[in-house]
Structure formats: structure tokens, C-alpha cells
Structure 1
Amino acid sequence: MGAIVYASAGGRKYHFDRRCRAFENGQQLNDVDTPDDAYLASWVYRKLHPLKQMSSQKAAMDGKLPCLACVPLHLQQMPEARDFGHRPVEVWGEPCCIRCRDQGIDEYGDPWIHPTLWPCTSAIVLGLAPRDTADRTGAAA
């Protein structure tokens, strides 16, 4: 069994220190300070999740990466999967990345969020999809 670590359901990292400053800073990025931000936050920001205790092996199997701020080198375990969660899935008849999302604000000022078309940039960098010399419009890059 691996070392006891802490991870949140919504996070991408696991932590050795329950009071890790990097985790706290990540949570504060999603913190809502004003009523004006609350409406936008309900659409764009993820729900905040508390840290839960688990083994480092379980965290790695869940696809979590070690926090570089608090996990000692000898306790860092990388997940077995080489795709880091980037896989194609069909959404509304289009191939999209199961992990990545695009977001923005439409012409009426309303926030939107939708899956990123496959291949996402991470899939190309990880070698999961071939590099194409043409962009999505077909023009040569």
C-alpha cells in the first residue's frame, strides 16, 4: 500500500500535506467574492470539493498527479495511463475530447461551455493524435 495522501474529487493533483498551500491557492481561484461573480461562477467554475484521505496508489489510479509543492519525490507515483484522460468521445455527432472544455461568453453576455473538438492540443502534444499541417478550416499552416 502506498503512502497516505489527500485529493479532492474535482482536482487533478494529490497532496501529502492536508494544508498544502498549492491546494488552497487552487481552491481560491474558484472562490466567488462578489454577487456579480456568483452568476458567472455557477456556469463556468467547478464545484469546490474537500480533500479526502486515500493511498498514493489509489490517487494515481484515479488519474491524479502528485503535487510538486508538497509530495516528496520518493512518494510521487505517476498514473499508469499515458493519455492523462484525453480520449475521443462522440458528442452531438462530433469527435470531442472527454477531458477538455472550451468556454466563453456569447453575444448576449451569457457564459457557455462545451467539449473541445478532437484532437485537443494535449492529445497532439502527448502523441495520441497525429500532427496535422492544416488547421480546422483546411488552410495550410
Structure 2
Amino acid sequence: MGAIVFATAGSRKYHFDKNCSAFHAAQGLNDMDCGCDTYCTHRMPRLHRQQQMSSQKAAMDGKLPCLTCVPPHLRQMPDVDGFGHQPVEVWGEPCCARCRDRGIDEYGDPWIHPTLWPCTSAIVLGLVAREVAA
């Protein structure tokens, strides 16, 4: 069984210390949802409740370890194969299934196209070999 860690329902990370400064900063930024569909005038946010779980459970839920408070030897990484970065064929070219390139054409109209494979994330994640400059 993994270490006991803390996370909220909407968080993407889990924390070893329930008083972690990064944990509270993230709550202040992302967990303030009072349920209003328009501009909120309540000024009374409802923070998600902290949940206690094992680091293995947190990793199975897709949460990443907090690099501020989780010691390296207790970090459990989620079992994800490339986070959706994989080659697919689009218009006869190998492209990343997840990444998109965005820009504005000469007429001022926005455009979105699939990113050619390998994307930067695939290289960083080690899904493809890095090219060594000569």
C-alpha cells in the first residue's frame, strides 16, 4: 500500500502534506466554484473537501504527485501511455492525435491544424528517439 496522501475531487495532483503551500494555492485558484452560471457576487466560495487516500489510489485516479511536498521515493505516477500523444494519419501525413497548431491566416481568420508527428510532447515523454544535432 502506498503512502497516505491528500487531494480534492477536482485536483490534478496529490499532496503528502495537507498544509502544502502549493495545495492551498491551487485550491485558491481552481476550487472556488459557488455554482453560479454568471459573474459571482456571493464572495463566499465553496472549497472542495480534502480526501485522504493512498498514493496508489491517487495515481490510479490519474493524479500526479506534487513536486513541492511529495518526497521522490513516495511518488506514484499514473499508468498513462503517452497522455494521448500517438501518431495518426491525417491527410496522408503522420500527425499527433492530441496536439494542434494554431494561427491566423493572411485574412485575419484563425486556423487549427493537427501537429505533425513527432510533436514536442512525444519527444519530451520519450515516445520517440531524440534527434542529435551534428
TM range (shorter): 0.5 to 0.7
Residue 66 of structure 1 is matched in structure 2 by 65
Q: Match for 2:57: what amino acid?
A: K
Greater C-alpha radius of gyration: 2
Q: Match for 2:64: what amino acid?
A: L
Q: How does 1:19-34 map to 2 (within 5 A)?
A: 19-30=19-30
Shift of 1:3: 0.7
- Structure 1 ranges of 4+ moved more than 6 A: none
> Is the Cα contact below 8 Å between 2:4 and 2:52 reproduced in 1?
yes
Residue 86 of structure 1 is matched in structure 2 by 84
> Is the Cα contact below 8 Å between 1:56 and 1:77 reproduced in 2?
yes
Which structure 2 residue ranges, 5 or more long, are not aligned?
33-37, 87-96, 100-114, 128-134
> Is the Cα contact below 8 Å between 2:10 and 2:31 reproduced in 1?
no
Please give the alpha-carbon distance, in whole angstroms, between the structure 1 residues aligned to 2:9 and 2:124. 26
> Is the Cα contact below 8 Å between 2:59 and 2:77 reproduced in 1?
yes
Shift of 1:82: 2.6
Distance of aligned partners of 1:12 and 1:123 in 2 relative to their CA distance in 1, 3 Å threshold = farther
Distance of aligned partners of 1:27 and 1:121 in 2 relative to their CA distance in 1, 3 Å threshold = farther
Shift of 1:19: 1.2
Residue 6 of structure 2 is matched in structure 1 by 6
Which structure 1 residue ranges, 5 or more long, are not aligned?
33-37, 42-46, 89-96, 101-116, 129-141
Q: Match for 1:6: what amino acid?
A: F
The answer on 1:55 being equivalent to 2:54 is: yes
Please give the alpha-carbon distance, in whole angstroms, between the structure 2 residues aligned to 1:48 and 1:82. 34
Shift of 1:86: 3.4
Distance of aligned partners of 1:82 and 1:49 in 2 relative to their CA distance in 1, 3 Å threshold = farther
> Is the Cα contact below 8 Å between 1:5 and 1:54 reproduced in 2?
yes
Q: Match for 2:58: what amino acid?
A: A
Give the TM-score of the pair, scaled to structure 2.
0.52
Q: How does 1:111-122 map to 2 (within 5 A)?
A: 122=121
Please give the alpha-carbon distance, in whole angstroms, between the structure 1 residues aligned to 2:53 and 2:31. 25
> Is the Cα contact below 8 Å between 1:10 and 1:48 reproduced in 2?
no
> Is the Cα contact below 8 Å between 1:5 and 1:15 reproduced in 2?
yes
**Paired residues, number:** 114
Residue 108 of structure 2 is matched in structure 1 by none
